[in-house]
């Protein structure tokens, strides 16, 4: 039994050998996490009304803002390159990591102490459409999350950064699953007695487990932890790189807060509709775009350290086209299958038909951004590997200004419904990607004409494949299947999706889309991983 435990531990703490296998493992685990995440949303929609969900989701705005500034701004752009640069001298690296962690800890404590008493002022300012008991609960839950959830998430994500710098991606992909399961269990067992407090307490428990599960991956580094801050080039470089990224995150969080503010002015349930549509759009973006982005940074950083710029440019263009090949058909599918998708993921007892239609309509506009939003994360990691966090900051400033301006005009001047926010977002992310793409070409030149030609062929294959599955959905909906039942909606989505993606693969092969080879790679890597697990446990027997 002890050998079995050791083998399992070895599997989960093992480092991945390549960027593609790392991305595949992250993608697979993110899919599982997202399945539980959307199960969480569906359960929440079954137990709570749109008004109650407005309260729940709005309560995360301020804690999420602090978290994004402290952790996303640090881990994604700064920690991994610094960890890799000083990995040869363990003592020096330990001193640098200790100093960085201690500074972030001080910033966290200061943030909580400052924001906690100011919640009663900040929350009404960002939720002008909330009043009375609704506003009181948002303030209370925001304070609870700030104290109970935030410290655990900061600690856990710091562990994630160190583990991913060592290319240990599997162990870092498990905590988000446990986080979602914790919220689901708390809601199922305690919602009837505790109301909205049940998922809030589930969030806190999940955040604690999020940090605890990753301890084995960083236990060696923790042994060398020192409660001190040193003046070192690595620490200075970390915060030098973190500065522009911090401003980038701040700008994007202001943008997200403006979206919250505008949706509260659109009536009851508007924020929940916006939140659900946005997070459904983020499903393929996180599974493919974010996983490629996360997996790429250690490898791209190593290439830059080894001065392999030609390899860098080649891998970047190949990865961008692979991401576009995988996400473009998903975007098209999300547009023509929007209503059954929303019904499948969010069709709880408390989520009515009007809310479903509005969410589906908004989703179709968000879906337009899926391919470009996915490669955005890979493009930004390219600049971070080049130790340039200023360029993504400038691009995000331009994108956020455009998004905010379009959103304000759409809601306050033209008085358009909530779907207009999806249009604004898609246009702004397209602009940001265009800027980053052209500027990256200047730093690491590649064949733009060949890239655009390949992308056009991918779009063509995705569009040509769409009419048949679209008609199939229309025929199956109520004519062949009783779609008032969840199982039949699931069958409709499975049949239409399989039909569409098989057609997409055939058309891609027919018109010569070179990126089709990624499917072969996925199959090979999946078999390698299966073989590794089988051999490990067979040897135990």
Would residue 413 count as lying in a domain?
A: yes
Q: How many CB atoms lie within 10 A of CB 445?
A: 11
Cβ burial 403-439 (10 Å sphere, 16+ → b, else e)? bbebbeebbeeeebebbbbbbbbbbbbbbbbebbbeb
Q: Are residues 234 and 282 in the same domain?
A: no
Tokens coding 463: 């569009």
Q: CA 300 to CA 203: how far, in whole Å?
A: 34
Give the DSSP letter string of 415-466.
---THHHHHHHHHHHHHHHHHHHHHHHHHS---HHHHHHHHHHHHHHHHHTS
CB 434 within 8 A of CB 405: no
What is the domain range of residue 141?
48-249
Closest CA to 373 of 420, 430, 330, 455: 430
CA dihedral 227, 230, 234, 237 (to 10 degrees): 110
Report the DSSP beta bridge partners of residue 273.
none
Q: Are residues 309 and 387 in the same domain?
A: yes
Q: Are residues 383 and 499 in the same domain?
A: yes
Map tokens 């290439």 to a residue: 303
Rounded average pLDDT per 10-residue block, the chain, 541 residues: 50 52 67 82 87 90 83 64 75 82 88 92 89 92 93 87 73 84 94 94 94 83 79 80 74 81 84 88 84 67 64 79 92 94 78 85 94 90 79 88 92 91 94 92 83 93 95 84 80 94 94 79 50 40 41
Residue 537: the pLDDT is 37
CB 42 within 8 A of CB 197: no
Q: CA 75 to CA 162: how far, in whole Å?
A: 9
Residue 541: the pLDDT is 41
Would residue 285 count as lying in a domain?
A: yes
Q: Are residues 235 and 284 in the same domain?
A: no
Choose the final residue of a domain: 220, 249, 278.
249
Q: Are residues 134 and 101 in the same domain?
A: yes
Would residue 299 count as lying in a domain?
A: yes
Choose the final residue of a domain: 249, 279, 307.
249
Would residue 126 count as lying in a domain?
A: yes
* Domain count within the chain: 2
Q: CA 278 to CA 283: how far, in whole Å?
A: 9
CB 382 within 8 A of CB 300: yes
Cα 155 to its chain centre, rounded Å, is 19
Query: What is the model's pTM?
Result: 0.74
Residue 337: the pLDDT is 92
Q: Are residues 281 and 332 in the same domain?
A: yes
* Biggest CA pair distance of the chain: 71
Q: CA 386 to CA 407: how far, in whole Å?
A: 33
Tokens coding 332: 């098209």
Choose the final residue of a domain: 195, 216, 249.
249
Three-class DSSP labels, 59-118? CCHHHHHHHHHHHHHHHHHHHHHHHHHCCCCHHHHHHHHHHHHHHHHHHHHHHHHHHHHH
Would residue 540 count as lying in a domain?
A: no
Tokens coding 74: 């640090």
Q: Are residues 359 and 460 in the same domain?
A: yes
Would residue 39 count as lying in a domain?
A: no
- Identify the burial level of 479 via C-beta atoms within 10 angstroms of its C-beta, where 0-12 means exposed, 13-18 middle and 19 or more buried: exposed
Closest CA to 45 of 484, 277, 348: 348
Cβ burial 231-252 (10 Å sphere, 16+ → b, else e)? eeebbebbeebbbbbbbbbbbb
Distances (CA, A) of 251 to 240, 317, 377, 399, 423: 18, 28, 16, 10, 19
Residue 430: the pLDDT is 94
Residue 531: the pLDDT is 47
Map tokens 């914790």 to a residue: 182
Tokens coding 64: 């999420």
Q: Quickly list H helices, 224-290.
A: 233-264, 270-284
Residue 80: the pLDDT is 73
Would residue 36 count as lying in a domain?
A: no
Q: Are residues 318 and 400 in the same domain?
A: yes
CB 319 within 8 A of CB 331: no
Q: How many CB atoms lie within 10 A of CB 9?
A: 12
Angle between helices 50-58 and 233-264 (to 10 degrees): 160
Q: Are residues 305 and 204 in the same domain?
A: no
CB 197 within 8 A of CB 158: no
Q: Are residues 277 and 223 in the same domain?
A: no
Would residue 20 count as lying in a domain?
A: no
Q: Are residues 307 and 201 in the same domain?
A: no
Q: Are residues 299 and 422 in the same domain?
A: yes
């Amino acid at each position: 039994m002890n050998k079995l435990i050791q083998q399992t531990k070895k599997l989960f703490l093992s480092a991945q050998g390549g960027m593609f296998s790392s991305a595949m493992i992250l993608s697979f685990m993110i899919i599982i996490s997202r399945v539980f995440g959307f199960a969480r949303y569906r359960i929440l929609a079954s137990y709570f009304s749109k008004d109650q969900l407005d309260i729940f989701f709005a309560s995360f705005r301020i804690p999420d803002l602090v978290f994004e500034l402290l952790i996303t701004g640090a881990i994604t752009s700064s920690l991994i390159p610094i960890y890799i640069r000083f990995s040869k001298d363990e003592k020096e690296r330990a001193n640098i990591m200790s100093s960085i962690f201690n500074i972030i800890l001080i910033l966290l404590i200061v943030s909580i102490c400052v924001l906690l008493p100011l919640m009663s002022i900040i929350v009404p300012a960002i939720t002008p459409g909330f009043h009375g008991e609704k506003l009181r609960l948002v303030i209370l839950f925001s304070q609870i999350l700030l104290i109970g959830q935030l410290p655990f998430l900061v600690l856990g994500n710091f562990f994630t950064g160190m583990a991913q710098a060592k290319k240990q991606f599997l162990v870092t992909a498990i905590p988000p699953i446990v986080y979602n399961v914790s919220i689901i269990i708390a809601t199922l067992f305690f919602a009837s007695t505790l109301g909205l407090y049940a998922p809030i307490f589930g969030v806190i428990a999940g955040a604690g487990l999020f940090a605890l599960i990753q301890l084995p991956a960083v236990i060696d580094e923790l042994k060398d932890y020192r409660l001190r801050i040193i003046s070192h080039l690595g620490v200075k470089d970390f915060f030098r790189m973190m500065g522009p990224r911090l401003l980038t995150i701040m700008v994007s969080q202001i943008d997200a807060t403006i979206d919250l503010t505008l949706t509260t002015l659109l009536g009851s349930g508007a924020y929940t509709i916006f939140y659900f549509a946005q997070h459904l759009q983020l499903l393929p973006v996180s599974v493919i775009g974010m996983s490629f982005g996360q997996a790429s940074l250690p490898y791209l950083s190593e290439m830059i350290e080894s001065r392999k710029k030609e390899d860098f440019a080649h891998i970047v263009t190949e990865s961008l086209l692979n991401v576009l090949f995988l996400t473009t058909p998903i975007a098209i599918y999300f547009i023509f299958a929007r209503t059954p998708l929303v019904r499948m993921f969010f069709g709880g007892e408390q989520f009515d038909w009007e809310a479903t239609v509005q969410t589906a309509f908004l989703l179709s506009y968000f879906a337009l951004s899926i391919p470009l939003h996915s490669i955005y994360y890979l493009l930004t990691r390219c600049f971070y590997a080049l130790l340039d966090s200023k360029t993504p900051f400038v691009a995000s400033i331009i994108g956020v200004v455009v998004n905010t301006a379009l959103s304000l005009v759409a809601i306050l001047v033209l008085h358009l419904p909530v779907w207009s926010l999806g249009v604004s977002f898609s246009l702004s992310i397209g602009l940001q990607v265009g800027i980053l793409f052209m500027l990256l070409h200047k730093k690491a030149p590649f064949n733009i004409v060949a890239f655009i030609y390949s992308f056009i062929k991918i779009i063509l294959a995705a569009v040509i494949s769409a009419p048949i599955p679209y008609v199939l959905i229309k025929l199956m909906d109520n004519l062949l299947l009783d779609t008032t039942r969840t199982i039949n909606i699931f069958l409709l989505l499975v049949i239409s999706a399989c039909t569409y993606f098989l057609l997409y693969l055939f058309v891609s092969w027919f018109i010569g889309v070179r990126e089709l080879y990624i499917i072969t790679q996925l199959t090979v890597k999946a078999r390698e991983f299966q073989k590794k697990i089988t051999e490990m446990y067979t040897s135990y027997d």
